[in-house]
Amino acid sequence: MIEFKNVRKDFKNKTILKDITLKINRGELVAIIGSSGCGKTTTLKMINRLIKPTAGKIFINGEDIASKDVIKLRRNIGYVIQQTGLFPHLTIRENIEMIPKVEKLNKASIKKRTLELMDMVGLNSNDFLDRYPTELSGGQQQRVGVARAFATNPEIILMDEPFSALDPITRVQLQEELIDLQSKLKRTIVFVTHDMDEAIKIADKICIMNKGEIVQYDTPENILKNPINDFVSEFIGKNRIWSSPEFIRAKDIMIDHPVVCFKNASLLRCIEKMRSSKVDSLMVIDRESYLLGIITAKQIQNKTDRNIPVEEIMNKKFISVQPDDSIIDILELVKEHKIGQVPVLDDFGVLKGIITKSSLVTTLSSQFLDMEEVN
């Protein structure tokens, strides 16, 4: 959809961007983040040619934007900035309808679209359309800015720190609404921010920049779990993953090699294996590692005949999770069902690992110990 190829920008003998190569797929919301002066806003403004590259090329849908009419290019790209960019002498209706009218769209269609846009951003048309921007709060103005950016139904929306000047409550509300809008409309959105929490919350991918270069470009989950270097690790914060626990998966905390037995193993052999392995349960599997059941020491202790095979008394009804299930869901399961261990199975029922209460406690304890070290 949008592609940068070896883009460089020099300004007054200083290199602002160094050999930027970046691809943004259709329908993705990509957050560009970094400290002041890293080149994130320059990168954004190159997409609608507000800034021209010194070298390299930028493509939209495979077309070099340098060869496109700049006015047409910009009219087909929505643009939202921190100060909203609303014209103070125009009403809210006039602000929203300006570009559609310039494009000479059908008047009835423009009117209908305006009402739809106001509803989309949660503003009552009767209350706001005939007001002027100065009569609105900052959050309301920003909603109008978003509505105007969507007025011509563009494929691409550029957002340059649109919520940074707002109070925390309004900012969170608009972030939530943007997430909801994107889930419905699936536009290609490039969102510049300096707030890592905001980027993690809204983005499909995050592009971290430093001194004019892309340091890491990946999903929020992968960046949180696998920062590419010390700069990224320090930038995102050592324990930030714990402020987004939905990114902590079963596969991240499970015991990879649980103690197992086969269904024809005797109870005597099972209890001996538990003692030697210092566990109180075994996962019963077949030769292909499909989980058939779970046997606990308590079940065996109640049996006088220890020579019978484990399959006769094993628990065949068990709660399991998948590798990508979040720690939030796992904790809820453990609490709800009052279970001491949760097997982790793939889509086919193959045993991949196990999560126990003790492994959960160890994981959670290490988080708090890390926090204490930082503090």
What are the helix and strand counts (H, E) for the chain? 15, 15
Q: Encode pLDDT of 79-115 as tens digits.
A: 988 776 889 999 999 999 988 888 888 889 999 999 9
- Are residues 230 and 256 part of one domain? no
Is position 231 within any domain?
yes
pLDDT of residue 350: 95
- Are residues 333 and 243 part of one domain? no
What are the E-state strand segments in 63-182?
63-64, 77-81, 156-160
- Report the pLDDT averaged over residues 266-281: 90
Which of residues 247, 272, 293 is at a domain's end? 247
CB 229 within 8 A of CB 215: yes
Q: Encode pLDDT of 160-196 as tens digits.
A: 998 887 888 888 888 888 888 888 889 999 999 988 8
Is position 113 within any domain?
yes
- Are residues 80 and 155 part of one domain? yes
- Report the pLDDT averaged over residues 242-247: 67
Domain count, the chain: 2
- Are residues 22 and 167 part of one domain? yes
- Are residues 159 and 37 part of one domain? yes
User: Rounded distance, CA 19 to CA 214, Å?
Assistant: 9
CB 67 within 8 A of CB 183: no
- Are residues 348 and 310 part of one domain? yes
Per the DSSP assignment, residues forming a β-bridge with 20 are 7
User: Rounded distance, CA 83 to CA 67, Å?
Assistant: 30
Is position 145 within any domain?
yes
pLDDT of residue 369: 42
CB 24 within 8 A of CB 2: yes
Of 136-140, 193-197, 206-210, 361-365, where does mean pLDDT reach its minimum?
A: 361-365
User: Rounded distance, CA 190 to CA 183, Å?
Assistant: 15
Which of residues 193, 215, 247 is at a domain's end? 247
- Report the pLDDT averaged over residues 30-42: 92
More confident residue, 55 or 246: 55
pLDDT of residue 29: 95
- Are residues 263 and 233 part of one domain? no
pLDDT of residue 244: 67
Instruction: State the CATH number of the domain containing residue 278.
Output: 3.10.580.10
- Are residues 348 and 316 part of one domain? yes
**Phi and psi for 365 in degrees, rounded to 5?**
-65, -40
- Widest Cα–Cα separation across the chain: 90
User: Rounded distance, CA 320 to CA 342, Å?
Assistant: 5
Nearest alpha carbon to residue 223 among 213, 233, 214: 233
- Those residues whose C-beta lies under 8 Å from the C-beta of residue 134, and which sit 6 or more positions away, are 88
Is the pLDDT assigned to residue 374 strictly greater than 60?
A: no
Is position 374 within any domain?
no
Is position 372 within any domain?
no
Q: Compute CA distances 259 → 90, 237, 265, whole Å.
A: 71, 36, 13
- Are residues 215 and 112 part of one domain? yes
| Domain extent at residue 352 | 251-363
CB 160 within 8 A of CB 41: yes
| Tally of CB atoms within 10 A around 353 | 20
Which of residues 192, 219, 247 is at a domain's end? 247
Is position 368 within any domain?
no
**Phi and psi for 150 in degrees, rounded to 5?**
-90, 0
**Phi and psi for 318 in degrees, rounded to 5?**
-135, 155
The letter for the amino acid at 66 is: A
What are the E-state strand segments in 36-171?
55-60, 63-64, 77-81, 156-160
pLDDT of residue 241: 58
